[in-house]
Amino acid sequence: MKKSEGFTLVELLVTVAIIGILAAVGISAYTGFIGAAKEKQATTGLSSIYLAQEEYRSMIGTYYQSNASCGLSNDDSTVINNNLFNADTILETENYNFCIEHSSGTLTYLANAYLLDGSGVILTITNTNLKRKFVDASWQTGW
């Protein structure tokens, strides 16, 4: 009996299984990378707000406020871009909503970035450069 050339069904099934495992690992790693990149974009935006607020205060004497109270539904990115960044698009709104509120008077503020995926993640920065992150129903210091 002559052995046929080609692959057996078992060899093909093992190959497909290995490809499936590699794809699953690759997709989960890619998803984590994308999430980290989105968060980095938001933290860069908040750091830019902090620097622009210091410049604004040195010229005007108070900090800029985009909204009296912030929340997930308040997206003041365009207003902030226009008033703090001279109409340059610094804050991207694809993944986060941005808002700046006075926390106590006009010499303090709280800038917020709300993640739009429904997870409840909030990133904040204050006039003292205190950075916080709200995730899993609790506040963490730092980003």
Question: Degrees (nearest 5) of the Cα angle 132, 135, 140?
Answer: 35
- Lowest average pLDDT, out of 10-19, 27-36, 45-54, 75-84, goes to 27-36
Q: How far apart are CA 43 and CA 130, in angstroms?
A: 12
Q: What is the pLDDT of residues 2-15, one digit of tens each?
A: 667 888 999 999 99
CB 120 within 8 A of CB 103: no
Flag whether pLDDT at 117 surpasses 70. yes
Q: What is the pLDDT of residues 66-91, one digit of tens each?
A: 877 788 888 899 999 999 999 888 89
pLDDT of residue 1: 60
Flag whether pLDDT at 104 surpasses 70. no
Global pTM? 0.79
Retrieve residue 105's tokens.
Answer: 């008077």
Alpha helices in 61-124 (DSSP H): 77-84
